[in-house]
Amino acid sequence: MSFGANNRAQSQTDWVRVDTCYGESYTSASLNKKLAGVLPTGVYWGFEVVPATGMQVKVYPGPDPDYPKNVAVAERNGYSLTGTSEGELLVPVPAGFRGLLVLEMDYDHQVTRSAVRLVETAAEHHIILAGLNVPEGATEISADMLSYDRRQVGNPAMIVSNFAGIVSALGQTMLEVETRVKFLEAWAGKQGYASPEIGG
């Protein structure tokens, strides 16, 4: 066995742990560790958030989902946790609430927990589904009270789709700016203003 001059290790045996090993004592722990640091955290499918009746929001797979379940991945305490659900969940939101709707998952060998809940500030292990800004005295949740700019997406296809949407919107903005500049130039010409010479 050969080592470099700066490598103080005396043995390479068992320095790298293989998940999942034959005869694992805690199979669930090993499986949950297996993809920690490998899978991006966030929403993979579904977990869409929209207004529901009254002071509620609905979490569901979406109006025309590509996959019929909600799927998300979170990482906590060295474990990669995959959460799935079917159907929809109604979450009550109090008037005056300003914060986030998050998915929380936890695993500690003997107890596995998950919850979709409202928080004022997200913790590192939370998956943000939507932001909420509900005025005092509100009697129903409307679309303008929801925001998705901090929503966490883990599915690479969804990330690419979102990026494509941003690029498309930016391109449209640039076209609008170009149109306005041409309009201003035409107006200035009619008023007798000469176009400035760039670098003159």
Q: Span 127-132, mean pLDDT? A: 95
Q: Cα–Cα distance between 71 and 154 in angstroms, integer?
A: 10
Residue 68 has pLDDT above 80, yes or no: yes
- pLDDT at 118 (0 to 100): 96
Radius of gyration of the chain (CA): 26
Q: What is the pLDDT of residues 133-162, one digit of tens each?
A: 999 999 999 999 999 999 988 876 655 555
Q: Span 75-103, mean pLDDT? A: 90
Q: What ranges do the domains of the chain cover?
A: 27-154, 155-190
Count each helix (H run) and each strand (E run) in the chain, helices first: 2, 10
Residue 196 has pLDDT above 80, yes or no: no
Sheet holding 89-92, edge to edge: 48-51, 56-60, 89-92
The partner residues of 80 in beta bridges, in order of sequence, read 75
Task: Look up the pTM and report it.
Answer: 0.67
Q: Span 172-179, mean pLDDT? A: 69
Helix (H) or strand (E) holding 168: helix 156-190
Helix (H) or strand (E) holding 181: helix 156-190
Integer CA distances (angstroms), 29 to 37, 74, 81, 111, in order: 15, 15, 10, 11
